[in-house]
Amino acid sequence: MSRPRIVLTRRWPAAVEQRLAERYEVVVNEDDHPLSPAELRDALMSADAVLTTVSDRIDAEVLAVDAPRAKVLVNYGVGFNHIDVAAATARGIVVTNTPDVLTDCTADLALTLMLMIARRAGEGEREVRAGAWSGWRPTHLVGSRVSGKILGLIGMGRIGRAVARRAQFGFGMQVLYFNRSPVPASELEGLDARACHSVEEVLARADFVSLHCPGGVTNRHLINRERLAHMQRHAFLINTARGDVVDEAALAWALTNGIIAGAGLDVYEAEPHVNEDLLALPNVVLLPHLGSATEETRVGMGLRAMQNLDAFFDGRTPPDRVA
Ligand code: DGY
């Protein structure tokens, strides 16, 4: 029996690519370029499975190929708002993702951003590298304390809760959150986190607001001018979720006009493009979508994706089927 043919849209950790090659006929994107819509359509027509990532825009137009050979889209990543799931389902294509394995590292990165922006670490690093540091003085790069402050979370899923644990047990922070559906006490696992009735309530009360909700149509520009104006002037916004949750033009306005004190971003509306106004501001830390970028997690994501792929070709329901 011939081996299923799979297309990897990007390079994966070498150890996982090797494991995949033991069972599948693997088509690798040798130079790791982001695939064009035409290349994605070609992958859908020529392979039994397409192994996607956040850099692939699998919209209804791409999925409208004449005769898709692919019956499964195995996404390397937990977020899947880059895939039009309804259009995939309509074509009879199963979609899977990789939850859990990136929770801790993404939460660590949210804390990294909180500390970097509050303690002005980006500004300090740029100063040292520019040879512009003139030495210690009481008034130099004075930031804001993180320990003991109020953290507001928008979204209290796995990653939100992992951030809450770090903030409460590591930094003695008080945690507030808004989640669309009630979070059962059993899932809070000893956290002393208080549920708020609205996004606005979290924004108005928190010193740090960290976003952990999905991207896509429902949450597009959830954080807009109006909502930013609910935040306190000394507060910071952190986004490790999806870029489209924040209206970047509104954020640049808020940062420029002192509506909020600062922001830490790992994700952007039109990656890899970053809003020019944000690039010019000192009170924002900008990272290149590094949430899950550790050796342990990237291998874990690959192995988790492979479990889904294997289940599909064994005729079982993939454990992380989202559609
Ligand atoms: C995720 O897993 O959602 C990461 O952001 C990469 O897609």
| Domain ranges, ordered by start, for the chain | 5-100+295-313, 103-286
Radius of gyration of the chain (CA): 21
What's the fold here for domain 103-286?
Rossmann fold (3.40.50)
Q: In this predicted structure, what is the pLDDT of residue 124? A: 98
Catalytic residue IDs: 242, 271, 289
Q: What distance in angstroms lies between residue 99's CA and the mean position of ligand 1's atoms?
A: 9
| Beta strand residue intervals within the chain, DSSP E | 5-8, 25-28, 49-52, 72-75, 94-96, 150-154, 174-178, 193-195, 208-211, 236-239, 262-265, 284-286
Residue type, 274: V
Q: In this predicted structure, what is the pLDDT of residue 288? A: 98
Distances (CA, A) of 27 to 4, 19, 20, 46, 88: 11, 14, 10, 10, 21
305 lines ligand 1 (CB under 6 A): no
- Please tell me if the domain spanning 5-100+295-313 has the same topology as the one spanning 103-286: yes
Distances (CA, A) of 251 to 143, 268, 290: 20, 12, 21
In CATH, 5-100+295-313 is 3.40.50.720: yes
Q: In this predicted structure, what is the pLDDT of residue 106? A: 98
292 lines ligand 1 (CB under 6 A): yes
Q: In this predicted structure, what is the pLDDT of residue 1? A: 67
Give the residue ranges of the chain where pLDDT is below 70: 1
Q: In this predicted structure, what is the pLDDT of residue 206? A: 99
Q: Is the whole model's pTM more than 0.75, yes or no?
A: yes
Q: What is the dihedral of CA 266, 15, 6, 88, to 10 degrees?
A: -30
Going by alpha carbons, the residue nearest to atom 2 of ligand 1 is: 77
**Residue found under tokens 């006929």:** 25
300 lines ligand 1 (CB under 6 A): no
Q: In this predicted structure, what is the pLDDT of residue 122? A: 98
68 lines ligand 1 (CB under 6 A): no
